[in-house]
Chains A and B, each alone.
Chain A
Amino acid sequence: MVFDLSFLTRHLPDFERALLLTVGLGVAAIVGSLVVGLLGNAFRNLPLPGARLAVRSYVELARNTPLLVQLFFLYFGLPSLGIHWSGLTCAILGLTFLGGSYMIESIRAGLDAVKKEQIEAGLSLGLSRFQLVRHVILPQALATALPGVAANCIFLLKETSIVGIIAVPDLMHLTLGLIGLYYKTYESLLLLTLAYLLMILPASWALARLERRLRYGRQFA
């Protein structure tokens, strides 16, 4: 077998484009999921009847159905109800729907880990509800939740590889397309692997760094 180097250079621009799209998609999904995760936990703790159940139901629904099915529903199912979203919109919404549920659970674990005495101490100092959340609960909860949240972020970046089924031209979609068109399997897979490493290694490194920073105070505790 001959390794076709000119194929690599010829299709590098395609991979650049797909990488940008994949990163954009991943970042949008991560931001969306974090927002859903925070709002979901806030909503969960409201003194509303059924709030807890509603969040719980969403989490179970989103976590126990495959992303593939969720994307198909958004892309092929909704048009029959008159809702036409583009492939990219469906991809972002689908990833956020799935990622949000994971984020809710990770952040909830962090919140649950904040000791009751901390909250009581804050209250006894006369902190307002907002101050209590902002200065006592969230800093500790997020530090505990971060490893889980970081894992979810990496998970979402990798999970973008499935959006090709609704014809969103991400890295995986491009690679499978090139293999199907030119049968340069090894060359395409090499570029794909490099592109994913280029995207995920820095993300992984940055998240690990953030984790160390947030946990700095703990090594003395």
Chain B
Amino acid sequence: MKIQRQNFFLPTLALFGALALLTYLGCTKKTADSLSSIRARGELVIGVFGDKPPFGYIDQAGRNVGFDVALARELGRALLGDEKKVKFVTLEAANRVAFLQANKVDIILANFTNTPERAQVVDFAEPYMRAALGVIVPNDSPLKTLADLKGHTLVVDKGTTAESYFVKNYPDIELLRFDQNTEAFQALKDRRGAALSHDNMLLFAWNNGNPGFRLIESNLGNADVIAPAVKKGNTELLQWTNEQIVRLRKEGFFRRAYESELRPHFGSSIKDPSTVLVEPST
């Protein structure tokens, strides 16, 4: 039997072109959900972390909990009158922007540090926390300062400020990049890297529950702030979120949430909450 030969190249190319176009249209479509359509839907969709205690994680009962999650529930109560009307979408650091752009979530509350690169693609609301980077090593490590890291492997999470900070400022340090926190810390435990860098608060919390490691840096990088983010151009939701953050600051919500969600994790590593919270005066 003779098989008819066909040229698959052009059809393949055309198919990819069509797919690219569809994706493009899908993403640029103006469906940035305004407040009224969220109310009509009866559900506020918020993107949070699932494996980054104390900010966003899953407890033993399978519920979303953490500092960011507490704030998310508060927003749900303010907008829809019921914190149960918040739908949580668990995401990773590297896909936070994509979830917003594709309209999969209304707001991101995932320990999202406000950086210039990110501010170009999403709109950040008023900040609610401060962040800097930390570096953690095993107790028996000879590394004492950041300078010692040269020529060693550093574990980071993809799409975090830790990754971009070291890519920009320390190109000599080799990075081992993971999608998820769980894997990154496991890799440090397995000694696949000499050190691990992440947001300092996250490291304080992790260090508190995992003896055998110490911080050699805890105040690295720009004095960044952490803020909720909405899709670029969704002004109505942005303004509403801003108002809520300002109100919650005044009402002392973040202080209370600090006591219930963060202090148990940080232990004695942070003495004064005002070092990590954005206070009403600012």
Contact = CB atoms under 8 A, between A and B. Distances in A.
A76 B186 contact: yes
A185 B2 contact: no
A185 B101 contact: yes
Contacts of B167: 181
A183 B220 CA distance: 23
Most B Cβ at <10 Å: residue of A76, A87, A186, A201: A76
A197 to B, nearest CB: 8
A165 B190 contact: no
A195 interface: no
A79 interface: yes
B190 A84 contact: yes
B190 A173 contact: no
B94 A176 contact: yes
B276 interface: no
Nearest to A1: B28
Interface residues of B, number: 34
B179 A181 contact: no
B183 A177 contact: no
Max chain A CB contacts within 10 Å: which of B177, B178, B191?
B177
Contact of A176 (B28, B101, B158, B190): B158
A165 B117 CA distance: 24
A20 interface: no
A201 B192 CA distance: 35
A168 to B, nearest CB: 10
Contact of A180 (B93, B183, B186): B93
Nearest to B180: A165
A167 B193 CA distance: 11
Interface SS, A side: helix
A173 B177 contact: yes
A177 B1 CA distance: 48
A179 B177 contact: no
A182 interface: yes
Given A180-B94, A180-B159, A201 B164 contact: no
A193 interface: yes
A167 B118 contact: no
Interface string B118-153: 101100000000000000000000000000000000
A137 B178 CA distance: 47
Contacts of A182: 117
9 tightest A-B CB contacts, nearest first: A180-B159, A180-B94, A79-B190, A183-B121, A167-B176, A180-B158, A181-B164, A76-B186, A183-B97
Given A173-B177, A176-B158, A201-B12, 10 more contacts: A76-B186, A84-B190, A87-B176, A167-B177, A179-B94, A179-B97, A180-B160, A183-B120, A186-B20, A197-B12
Interface of B: 1-2, 9, 12, 16, 20, 24, 28, 93-95, 97-98, 101, 117-118, 120-121, 158-160, 163-164, 167, 176-179, 183, 186-187, 190-192
6 contacts: A76-B190, A87-B192, A180-B159, A182-B117, A185-B98, A193-B16
